[in-house]
Amino acid sequence: MRKVTKAIFPVAGLGTRFLPATKSIPKEIMTLVDRPLIQYAIDEARAAGITEFIFVTSRGKSALEDYFDHAPELESALRAKGKDKLLEVLETTNMDSGAIAYIRQHKPLGLGHAVWCAQRLIGNEPFAVILPDDVISAEKPCLAQMVEAHEETGGNIVAAMEVPPEKASAYGVLDIAEDMGSLVSVKGMVEKPKADEAPSNLAVIGRYILTPRVMRQLDRANAGAGGEIQLTDAIAAQIGSGQGVYGFRFRGQRFDCGSKAGFLQATVAFGLSRDDLRDEFGQYLQDMMALRKAAE
Whether 98 has a pLDDT exceeding 70, the answer reads yes
Domains and CATH numbers, the chain: 6-258 (3.90.550.10)
Helix axes 72-80, 84-91, angle to 10 degrees: 160
Q: What is the pLDDT of residues 27-69, one digit of tens each?
A: 999 999 989 999 999 999 999 999 999 999 988 788 888 888 8
Q: Which of 271, 220, 260 is nearest to 32 (CA)?
A: 271
Which range, of 51-60, 90-99, 231-240, averages the lowest pLDDT? 90-99
Yes or no: say if 9 and 54 are a contact pair by the CB < 8 Å rule. yes
Beta-bridged to residue 191, according to DSSP, are 172
C-alpha triplet 50, 105, 215: angle, nearest 5°? 55
Yes or no: say if 276 and 33 are a contact pair by the CB < 8 Å rule. no
Pairing outcome for strands 6-10 and 52-57: parallel
Residue 106 to residue 85: CA distance in whole angstroms: 40
Mean pLDDT of the chain: 89
Residue 223 to residue 116: CA distance in whole angstroms: 13
Q: Which of 46, 56, 48 is nearest to 94 (CA)?
A: 46
Helix and strand totals (H; E) in the chain: 11, 13
Residue 69: phi and psi, rounded to 5, are -85, 160
pLDDT of residue 226: 60
- pLDDT confidence tier of residue 222, bands split at 50, 70 and 90: low
Q: Which residue has the higher pLDDT, 26 or 191?
A: 26
- pLDDT confidence tier of residue 285, bands split at 50, 70 and 90: very high
Residue 55 to residue 165: CA distance in whole angstroms: 33
Whether 130 has a pLDDT exceeding 70, the answer reads yes
Q: What is the pTM of this model?
A: 0.90
pLDDT above 90: percentage of residues in the chain: 52
73, HSE (Cβ side, Cα atoms, 13 Å):
0
Q: Which helix (H) or strand (E) holds 88?
A: helix 84-91
User: What is the rounded average pLDDT of the residues 212-217?
Assistant: 90
